[in-house]
Chain A
Amino acid sequence: MILNKNFTYLCTVNILKRMNLPIYLDNNATTPMDPRVLDAMLPYFTSKFGNAASRNHAFGWVAEEAVDYAREQVAKLIGASEKEIIFTSGATESDNLAIKGVFEMYKEKGNHIITSVTEHKAILDACKHVEKLGGRVTYLPVKEDGLIDLQQLEEAMTPETILVSIMYGNNEIGVIQPVKEIAAIAHKHGALFMTDAVQAVGKIPVNVIEDGIDLLALSGHKIYGPKGVGALYVRRKGPRVKVTAQMDGGGHERGMRSGTLNVPGIVGLGKACELCMQEMESEAKRLSALRDKLQAELTVLEESYVNGNVEHRLPHVANISFKYVEGEGLMMAMKDLAVSSGSACTSASLEPSYVLKSLGLSDDLAHSSIRFGLGRFTTEEEVNYAIEVTKKSVNHLRELSPLWEMFKEGVDLSKIEWAEH
């Protein structure tokens, strides 16, 4: 009997350990949900289905209590107080609410916003919208390593500047901006500081007090929580920040975001934050070691380049260009690896990633880039496999590449007159 039990246990362990293909290495796009998060959410779909705004019966109270608890869990992860957390449908909404909401709320004070060229489209397009409403937006360039130049930020500040919005960690290259210094410059000139921290929260320590953050966007599905739920942190003290609601209705979330709360989603976001709080430190250590191994092994390949600053970088990301190999073709060769590329062979414009281009990368290097994004469930075995497959595929495609052949023959590719097409 005992033997039997042991045997079953061993089998289960073996099954768990067996590698499933394809291997998911695109954790910056989204993460699988942690089963512990799912467990926390499930009751709130069925038995605990109440509306958190129903004040007159137990169903509502139960839901409200769950939301309050989640608010604490989220606040704790970023060093905020629970009253400063506004639940949203995700970081796209949080970014929009922050940019448009601050612009509308503070337009008497000024109409100038500063952001950077490597921001997520949710920030960039919200800024474009503000420009249409009469706002003025400065898009700071970044240096070769993806960091903004603090001197340039200082010079861009004007008495009209109401908001500086710079992301914490970049989604394509993982570069971490000097948030604390940026906040200090914004505050010195009387502006608020907003950060899109979608990629950083839960991966590295983020603290709104220590970092001097006034507004912060985060998202559930990047931290092993559910999709379609996120939050905006809005500072309440020193200074008390307000944003004009972009969604009108029943006045939920202190009037800043109306709409019946997504209770299961919010419970999941809370649980996800709690798990990050507990496991972030060891997870970051484990993942950065695996990432470093992957990067070290892959940069052994000739003509491979790591994109972005490697010192100020999220622990789980490596963005590498394999010159003379096109990214999309490479991804097809590595079909057992789920990664992403800065190549945009499918887009009508044929424009490669704007983030990589803003680092000053030539188009051909941008087309040759692959982003490896490790995550909580990535194993060492999977990383080893990824290394092998990537090496094999790069070498194979280089055998097929006329550019590689020319490079090997010593032809200067920059001297060739390429026909536009």
Chain B
Amino acid sequence: MAYSEKVIDHYTNPRNVGTLDKSSHKVGTGLVGAPECGDVMRLQIEVGEDNVITDAKFKTFGCGSAIASSSLATEWLKGKSIDDAMKIDNMDIVEELALPPVKIHCSVLAEDAIKAAINDYRVKNGLEAIVSEKVHH
């Protein structure tokens, strides 16, 4: 299967690889997927004043599309408010990276990772987790 140019770009030059201090109250961490399924994503956000995401980092175990999806997600997250970040839809990622149908689950995982990171941040700061009602495509 051939990968799209954008997947190859993110895969070859992944943005924002790394680790934030998960004990900091400003940092939210989302760890999703499972090793048995062949992909695990860890996405972290650092939230500043006014609920704006000031930094985002990821590490991913998975195929090229999974790595590209999480790299793209960190790019999109930086500078967004938490509320806007919550609205990132997996299909936006599918479209941006031109993922084929068999790779849609990679984008779903990235969306899940974003939501998990935000909820981790919320819970840490005394807020309720937001339960997503969304049914994935």
CB within 8 Å of B: which of A315-368? Answer: 324-329, 332-333, 343-348, 350, 352, 362-364, 367
B64 within 8 A of A: yes
Q: In the complex where A328-B63, A400-B59, A405-B59 touch, is A345 in contact with B35 (Cβ < 8 A)?
A: no
Cβ–Cβ contact A329 & B66, under 8 A: yes
Cβ–Cβ contact B14 & A400, under 8 A: yes
B98 within 8 A of A: no
Among candidates A347, A403, A416, A421, residue contacting B108 with C-beta atoms closer than 8 Å: A421
B82 within 8 A of A: no
Cβ–Cβ contact A326 & B63, under 8 A: yes
Interface size, A (range): 20 to 34
Q: Which residues in B have their C-beta under 8 angstroms from that of A364?
A: 35-36, 38
Q: In the complex where A418-B35, A421-B33 touch, is A400 in contact with B40 (Cβ < 8 A)?
A: no
Q: In the complex where A329-B67, A346-B1, A421-B105 touch, is A400 in contact with B60 (Cβ < 8 A)?
A: yes
Query: Number of B residues whose C-beta is below 8 Å from A?
Result: 33
Cβ–Cβ contact A400 & B63, under 8 A: no
B41 within 8 A of A: yes
B109 within 8 A of A: yes
Tell which of A327, A400, A419 has the most Cβ of chain B within 10 Å: A400
Q: In the complex where A419-B32, A419-B34, A421-B105 touch, is A402 in contact with B17 (Cβ < 8 A)?
A: no
Least CB distance, A127 to chain B, in whole angstroms: 28
Least CB distance, A406 to chain B, in whole angstroms: 9
A381 within 8 A of B: no
Cβ–Cβ contact B38 & A402, under 8 A: no
Mark each residue of chain A from 21 to 58: 1 if its CB lies under 8 Å from any CB of chain B, else 0: 00000000000000000000000000000000000000
What CA separation (Å) do A11 and B65 show in the bound complex?
Answer: 43
Q: Which residues in B have their C-beta under 8 angstroms from that of A402?
A: 31, 40-42, 59-61
Cβ–Cβ contact B33 & A367, under 8 A: no
List 29 A-B residue pairs with CB atoms under 8 Å apart, sorted by A's residue number. Answer: A326-B66, A328-B38, A328-B64, A329-B63, A329-B66, A332-B63, A343-B38, A345-B62, A345-B65, A346-B1, A346-B63, A348-B102, A352-B38, A362-B36, A363-B36, A363-B38, A367-B35, A400-B17, A401-B59, A401-B61, A402-B41, A404-B61, A416-B31, A418-B34, A418-B36, A418-B40, A419-B32, A420-B34, A421-B108
| Additional A-B contact list (15), CB under 8 Å, known A352-B38, A405-B59 | A325-B61, A326-B38, A329-B11, A329-B61, A329-B63, A332-B3, A364-B35, A364-B36, A400-B67, A401-B60, A402-B40, A418-B34, A419-B32, A420-B34, A421-B37
Question: Which B residues form the contact surface with A (CB < 8 A)?
Answer: 1, 3, 11, 14, 17, 19, 31-42, 59-67, 102-103, 105, 108-109, 112
Closest 8 CB pairs of A and B: A418-B34, A364-B35, A363-B36, A402-B42, A328-B63, A402-B59, A332-B64, A367-B38
